[in-house]
Amino acid sequence: MMLTPFTLTLTLATLAAPLPQEAQPAPQAPAAAPAPAAPTAPVRTVVPAERRDRAALAGAVAALQAAHPGRVSAASIGNSARGEPIAVLTLSRDAATADARPAVLLVAGMDGTRWSGTEAALVAAESLLGTAHEALLGDVTLYVLPRGNPDAADAYLRGPRRDYSGDGAVHDNDRDGKIDEDAPRDLNGDGLITQMRASGVLLPWPAPTLVADRGEPRLLRAPDAAAGEVAVFTAWTEGIDADGDGRMAEDWPGGIDPERNFPHRWPEFEDEAGVYPLLAPESKALAEFVAAHPNVFACLVLGRHDTVVNVPDAKARTVGGMPAMIAPEDERAYADVAKAWREVVGQKRAEGRDAAGSFVAWMNAQRGVPTFASTLWGRPDVPEPTEEEKARRKDLPKPADAEAAAWLDYSDRMRGGSGFVPWTRVEHPQVPNMEVGGWVAGFRENPPLEEVAALGERCAAFLARLAEHRPMVRLSAPTVTSMGPGLWRIEATLSNTGRLPTVMRGGRAEGVIPAHVVRLSVPVDRVKSGRRIDVVRGIDPGEVRRLAWIVQAPPEEEVAVELLLAGNVVERHAFTDGAPAGTGGGK
Amino acid sequence: MNATARLASCALGTIAALAAPASAQQRIASRADIPFDRYYDADQVDAHLFRLAEAYPELCRVERIGTSTLGRPMLALVVNNRRTGDEGSKPGMYIDGAIHANEIQAAETVLYTGWYLVSAYGNVPKVTELVDRSTFYLLPMVNPDGRVEWFTKPGTPHSSRTGLRPTDDDGDGAADEDGPNDLDGDGSITQMWRKDPFGSHRRDPRDPDRMVPVPNEPKADGTREYGDWSPAGMEGIDDDGDGAINEDGTGGYDMNRNFPAGWEPENIQGGAGRWPLCFPETKAMADWVLQKPNIAAAQSYHNAGGMILRGPGAAHREGDYPAEDVGTYRRIQDTGAKMLPFYRSMVIHRDLYTVHGGVVNWFAESLGIITLTNELWSDKRIMQDGADPDEEERRLWNERVLLGRTRTAMTEVPHPQHGTVLVGGGTKFSARIPPTFMMEEEIHRNFAFTMYHADQMPLLRFESVEATALPGGLWQVTVGVANDRAIPTRTVRAATAGIGLDDVLALEGAEAVSAGRLSRRTEQAMDPQWFQPSQLHFPRGVPGLGAAYGRFLVKAPAGTPVTLRWKSQKAKSIETTLRLGEQVLPPAGAK
């Protein structure tokens, strides 16, 4: 394979000595959280993306299980479109009772390009099993899904690399009745699928719509008519017109994009969003897992979406009337956690994509489980340009897309130009003047390999913080006051002393999400005031609800006040004749 | 004509009439006769489907499309004459019923449809024509579990709307733990009244089955009158001791809110389920339909109210109904209103209420199919004078026409919470469904309406094929394809949203150098398709009662036979062959 800058970087990385054991601090280290203690076991699990194939992932999972017997169990939530099992790890102090404890769900690998999420998830899992976080797993269970979309990961590993997240489903992308007849092609042999452009394109090929930005000519953009610009380039995905229909690279193997196949703001007619929500087995399996694990109180997704650097607008609503992501009432608690992410992980920038049809949007808006999405990494700061560079740029206009230009700057100056394939002429069977070039898939989506382990450690630290935010619903020990013979006033408070709601607003619907229930043992006809069975659909952090009843209870009959969740009794307070049960009666 | 001649021709006419087949006005003869003056439970409906398939194997077959929540097979009848083409090669009409299981007459209506189509085939020319050129996908019971529940358990005309998956309606951690109870054992769940010395009602002394409200206002002398009874909800007790009665019965969701078109979760749309197509019945039906891109028309039967409904179900989806499609809908709906007395043509969200995620919305908006829902039975059919019956009229109807059969006697029974209650009143047959002696007419009229709807599915023919010689050995071949029915081969909705495949006009037998679409047969310049000119795409298809035109520039010697084929997902493909220069099909006329 040709030694392009991209492969050069990767080769250097693989030649490097075993990865450093301590986290490298980011340029502006966060002051808030203490640096995590050095991991007690070497961080073995980070390997270059090319090697984390199916077998390597299974190996990493097996290694974790072997290193922490009884505390890690592995299962499959279902199979991908191509039949690959989707692994889920359960981390807890005791695998047998893990589902009985409140839990955090960590999801990664829903996107083909974002291998760093999978790596970070594995590192985080290993770290959380270490002694630094031992107490955590006593109270909270962690479910880790390192690779939610195995088909897309396989495609990325197989190459040529492109920014693609569809699963392996059979799908006619261009709706011409033929399947996969014209996939993208690596015309310049660089192992990548990038873009192509051609100037002066004549009929029958599409008319030009783009110009090269004068400030940064590698970037294509729409012409600025006010500045007298006229379109020059037509652009395509790298490929040819294999089936003679006038389109290039328009129908490839795959699929449904699981991260656009969830029911909230589902983009119905976008290609690869699926003909109905949760048709993609990856999305369905994840949804079923969530539904079967009501103990999950929060979730972190590492992928293409961001809700932690740019906290979603709580006022945004869908056309049907649901919150677009979160409701105003939940904004404060949500933003607190997002802030914790920024403090612990130090991420300052994120280019998250539209969350329509995504897992994070569905979880927040319809399941009411606070779910935090992060791209894990954003564009780093680039040092000030040199005097030479300033002089060169002095007379050029500013690039229209400042962020893209900054990425190029970063790639050029700090990554040896490996982020962007320079536009280069290529022989094309159909269109003359064709050039291939463009962003390298995975470059902007993943931090450099050597930074991943540290980010994984910080994810672990964040998850530990997130666990501390968990809702803690308590029923206070009731006070019981005699109101007369056999007549008692019972008062209790139901409170959530945690920092997250039990269910956010969108999930407080009937019959769908389990609720807390406060229940008296006294038959209903002896409950003179108050509800015998009180359903509480969601308790906000810091909320205190006062409950009061007047009940009739004959002497020596035990009266119990119970708190239930999803049908299970989680707290029980009993008393007889006004005194706590077992202590004997006072009248 | 003089009087004698008139008399003679009259006599001849009479003789001729007497000689006409006496069967023309008799009931359709069938190898598998099914009476339609009675209701059938779920097993009986299934058995009838098998009888039809056994009796008419050349015209229909039973297909199991899935399994219900409680494990019942979901059975459909597919009607197609294989000799005139495969099922998928013809425009398809999909008809279902009783997704709300209490809307029971929907199943008989769909069953009648299958029965009539196969039985009348060969004897009634219109039926023969429809069966030969279309495929019918008939699903009498989308919710078979619910139908079993409706027939076997005490209920009201409104119960068993839901499916049978246990659902925790009240959030207390238990599912289906407190449904209605048949306290007096009369097989019905009725209104319940509790004995109350300060009651709002009393029993009518003239009619002990009738409750009369007591005046609300104090009398002239300032005293108030009180009755003996107050309403106490529907018949039932507090089964789970939570202080509420009947708050969590069997099931508790609405499968007609579970489809992925504008689907909204429970906060917005009650009964919608935890996500679209989360129930085995809805998913099985959707998966089955998605395999049939030839479906061009659909009807989903419900009760009640005498309505012919189209979407959208919500105001913000109006954009999914472009004007041309609305025109197609109205043409069919308006004809329906004339075929179905007391039925009105309506738009769901505007004239009824908001529905998110309904079957009709999914078919119309997500699949681009011209779909209607008929709400069977209108109370206006009681007096048949155009108005709903008033209380006196209803009483006469119940007592004298129905001979009291839909009423149960009011009975006092003990009640653990209320002491004594009075129950009794209308049985589950007392509303929303026709009495058995009025079933067949209504069923037939609705069936006939769906046949009119089906008859509007695209029917294509070559209107004109002209080949004109151009210099240099080129030929200009102009083709017009007409659709003689009102439903286009692609609705504007389908074309706009990118649902399904384009229509394609293919030319074989010679090289097409160039091709393009025309907006009229006589248009000079064409809208060119630069690639693969032998396969000319028509994203808008052929409009209803309209035509589509295309032109090929062909390089071939005179006398070359070229074949033109129009391929459409929702119409039978047609083809024709002409020899360049030797044969020209006349425009707009003979076939």
A21 has pLDDT over 70: no
Looking at residue A572, what is its pLDDT?
95
Region A398-422 average pLDDT: 94
Looking at residue A41, what is its pLDDT?
33
B252 touches A: beta carbon within 8 Å: yes
Region A308-323 average pLDDT: 95
> How do residues B30-66 score in pLDDT, each as one tens digit?
999 999 999 999 999 999 999 999 999 999 999 999 9
A564 chain-B contacts, CB cut-off 8 A:
173
Contact A566 B173 (CB under 8 A): yes
B11 has pLDDT over 70: no
Partners of A546 in beta bridges: A493
Looking at residue B22, what is its pLDDT?
52
Partners of A90 in beta bridges: A73, A143
Residues in chain B: 591
Q: What is the DSSP string of B193-237?
A: EEEEEEESEEEETTEEEEEEEPPSS--TTS----EEEEEEEES--
Mean residue pLDDT of chain A comes to: 88
Residue in B241, B264, B316 closest to A523 by CB: B241
Contact B243 A269 (CB under 8 A): no
> How do residues B508-519 score in pLDDT, each as one tens digit?
999 999 999 999
Dihedral angle over CA of B393, B395, B397, B401, nearest 10: -140
Could you identify the residue written with the tokens 């590492």? A302
B266 touches A: beta carbon within 8 Å: yes
A320 chain-B contacts, CB cut-off 8 A:
262, 264, 268, 314, 316, 356
B349 chain-A contacts, CB cut-off 8 A:
none
- Number of DSSP helices (H) and strands (E) in chain A, helices first: 11, 22
Looking at residue B200, what is its pLDDT?
95
Whole-number Å distance between alpha carbons of A427 and A99: 59
Residue in A291, A510, A568 closest to B171 by CB: A510
Q: What is the DSSP string of A370-436?
A: -EEEE-S--PPP-PPPPHHHHHHHHTSPPPS-HHHHHHHHHHHHHSTTTTEEEEEE---SS-TTEEE
Q: Which residue has the higher pLDDT, B8 or A174?
A: A174
> Which amino acid would we find at residue B15?
I
Q: Which residue of A has its CA nearest to B497?
A: A269
Q: Which two tokens stand for residue A138?
A: 């006593």
Whole-number Å distance between alpha carbons of B287 and B297: 17
A204 has pLDDT over 60: yes
Q: What is the ipTM of this complex?
A: 0.92
Contact A533 B417 (CB under 8 A): no
Contact A510 B173 (CB under 8 A): no
A43 pLDDT band (50/70/90 cuts)?
A: very low
Q: How far is B367 from chain A (nearest CA, A)?
A: 10
B24 pLDDT band (50/70/90 cuts)?
A: low
B586 has pLDDT over 80: no
> How do residues B181-222 score in pLDDT, each as one tens digit?
999 999 999 999 999 999 999 999 888 888 999 998 898 998
Could you identify the residue written with the tokens 């160039």? B514
Q: How far is A197 from chain B (nearest CA, A)?
A: 20
B14 pLDDT band (50/70/90 cuts)?
A: low
A302 has pLDDT over 90: yes
B277 chain-A contacts, CB cut-off 8 A:
276-278
Looking at residue B382, what is its pLDDT?
96
B279 chain-A contacts, CB cut-off 8 A:
none
Whole-number Å distance between alpha carbons of A489 and A487: 7
Residue in A263, A524, A568 closest to B238 by CB: A524
> How do residues B120-174 score in pLDDT, each as one tens digit?
999 999 999 999 999 999 999 999 999 999 999 999 999 999 999 999 888 888 8
Give kind and range of the element (H or E) at residue B139.
strand B135-139
Contact B242 A524 (CB under 8 A): yes
Residue in A278, A506, A515 closest to B267 by CB: A506
Structural contact between residues A177 and A137, judged by C-beta atoms closer than 8 angstroms: no
Region B407-422 average pLDDT: 94
Share of chain A above pLDDT 70, in %: 90
Looking at residue B10, what is its pLDDT?
54
What pTM did the predictor assign?
A: 0.91
B13 touches A: beta carbon within 8 Å: no
Q: Which residue of A has its CA nearest to B362?
A: A276
B171 touches A: beta carbon within 8 Å: yes
Contact B172 A511 (CB under 8 A): no
Contact A512 B500 (CB under 8 A): no
Looking at residue B372, what is its pLDDT?
98
Residue in A175, A241, A508 closest to B501 by CB: A175
Contact A245 B169 (CB under 8 A): no
B241 chain-A contacts, CB cut-off 8 A:
523-524, 532-533
Cα A138 to its chain centre, rounded Å, is: 24
Whole-number Å distance between alpha carbons of B494 and A175: 12
A159 has pLDDT over 70: yes
Looking at residue A6, what is its pLDDT?
33
Which of A276, A519, A529 best tests the B interface by mutation, with the highest count of B CBs <10 A? A276
B431: helix, strand or coil: coil
B133 touches A: beta carbon within 8 Å: no
Q: Which two tokens stand for residue B238?
A: 């507090």
Residue in B171, B253, B265 closest to A515 by CB: B171
CA neighbor of B67 nearest in space, from B46, B51, B93, B94: B46
Could you identify the residue written with the tokens 């290609």? A271
> How do residues A59-96 score in pLDDT, each as one tens digit?
999 999 999 999 999 999 999 999 999 999 999 998 88
Could you identify the residue written with the tokens 């129908």? A251
**Residue A31: partners with Cβ closer than 8 Å, 6 or more residues away:** none
Contact A532 B531 (CB under 8 A): no
> How do residues A138-156 score in pLDDT, each as one tens digit?
899 999 999 999 999 999 9
B2 pLDDT band (50/70/90 cuts)?
A: low
**Chains A–B, number of C-beta pairs less than 8 Å apart:** 117
Partners of B565 in beta bridges: B506, B575
B323 has pLDDT over 70: yes
Which of B238, B254, B268, B275 best tests the A interface by mutation, with the highest count of A CBs <10 A? B275
Q: How far is A181 from chain B (nearest CA, A)?
A: 15
Q: How far is B177 from chain A (nearest CA, A)?
A: 13
Contact A263 B275 (CB under 8 A): yes
Whole-number Å distance between alpha carbons of B447 and B113: 6
B406 has pLDDT over 70: yes
A458 has pLDDT over 60: yes
Contact B241 A532 (CB under 8 A): yes
> Which amino acid would we find at residue A338?
A
A324 has pLDDT over 60: yes
Q: How far is A374 from chain B (nearest CA, A)?
A: 25
Region B218-232 average pLDDT: 92
Whole-number Å distance between alpha carbons of A534 and A546: 12
Residue in B172, B286, B290 closest to A535 by CB: B172
CA neighbor of A450 nearest in space, from A6, A97, A100, A24: A24
Region B307-312 average pLDDT: 97
Torsions phi, psi for B478 (to 5 deg): -105, 130
Structural contact between residues A257 and A303, judged by C-beta atoms closer than 8 angstroms: no
Dihedral angle over CA of A401, A403, A405, A409, nearest 10: 170
Q: How far is A324 from chain B (nearest CA, A)?
A: 12
How many CB atoms lie under 10 A from the CB of residue B385?
Answer: 10
A437 has pLDDT over 80: yes
> How do residues A238-295 score in pLDDT, each as one tens digit?
999 999 999 999 999 989 999 999 999 999 999 999 999 999 999 999 999 999 999 9
Torsions phi, psi for A95 (to 5 deg): -55, -35
Q: Which two tokens stand for residue A9?
A: 């970087």
A380 pLDDT band (50/70/90 cuts)?
A: very high
Whole-number Å distance between alpha carbons of A554 and A302: 58
